[in-house]
Amino acid sequence: MEKKIAFLILLISFFFFSWSFFSAFAAPMPTGIAINEKTNECGKYWGGDERVHFDLKKNWEAYYPIRKIEFVTDYGKCIIKEHSSASECCSQLGLKYINYSNIPFNDKEKLGNSVCILPFHTDGVEYYDGISINKNTKECTELLQYRLKVVDDPLNNWKTDYDKICLIDKNWEDFRKVNFISKVYETPKGTCEIPYSSTNDNDEKQCCLSLGMKYVDNTTEPNTTSIVKNLSIIIVTAAFIILLAVLITRYIKHRKK
């Protein structure tokens, strides 16, 4: 009897695992606009989420907004677009840009059980948390968030060096006040901006119209993959319920004997 109960528990676990797999198959997609250059049409586009997916019609292309960001420092403010180089901000502030990887830091000695490694930056200002400025040399760079990696740790654990013990020159200051100004659409038909905090459902429509394009409500067509996926969830769920009902019925009959 214990084996049957264990089997039921295992079966229920498998069901919830399968359900989680289907449900978390894809993250929700951001809202954007879609453009058909041939017909000069434009419309709002949302690609779907983990439950459903919408395909664009033929000859339509999706465009997603990038953020316009303002950094506030003791040396003034700068405004750059997402994925831009920190050098653009430094230039607006009238400061000399230096790449963060060229700044000397304590990478030779062990600090307790840790060693210093460079901040994680790709091209541009990673995470848009802020920038760092040297108050003595007036140099400017990406945010100097060094990491402390635990020595000989097979899991490569690390933590952020908030105390700046990795820095040799202690004149570097972090400026983390960041304001998101707007969402910018860059398309072959031009550029349009939407206030970042706006929740107006007509924002994308106004964007399309400002590009000199005709606005349309429907830019998508049915996605058969989503339909099959949803049907699969229904079938798996139904099969589980039927199987569980049969097993419970047999268990009850066995107990009565």
pLDDT at residue 93 tops 80: yes
Domain ranges of the chain: 2-64+188-244, 84-180
What's the confidence (pLDDT) of residue 187? 96
pLDDT of res. 18: 52
Under the banding of pLDDT at 50, 70 and 90, the label for residue 199 is confident
- Taking residue 132's Cβ as centre, other Cβ atoms within 10 Å add up to 24
Per-residue confidence (pLDDT) for residue 82, from 0 to 100? 85
| Amino acid making up residue 175 | F
The region of weakest confidence among 28-37, 40-49, 65-74, 221-230 is 221-230
146-155 in b/e form (b: 16+ CB < 10 A) is bbbbeeeeee
Q: What is the pLDDT of residues 100-120, one digit of tens each?
A: 999 999 988 888 888 998 887
Q: What is the 3-state secondary structure (H, E, C) of the chain?
A: CHHHHHHHHHHHHHHHHHHHHHHCCCCCCCEEEEEECCCCEEEEEECECCCCECEECCCCEEECCEEEEEEEECCEEEEEECCCCHHHHHHHCCCEECCHHHCCECCCCCECCEEEECCCCCCCCHHHCCEEEECCCCEEEECCCCEEEECCCCCCCEEECCCCCCECCCCEEEECEEEEEEEEEEECCEEEEEECCCCCCCHHHHHHHHCCCEECCCCEECCHHHHHHHHHHHHHHHHHHHHHHHHHHHHHHHHHC
Q: Name the amino acid, one letter, at 27.
A: A
Amino acid at 102: N
CA distances (Å), 14 to each of 21, 100, 229, 240, 244, in order? 11, 49, 18, 10, 12
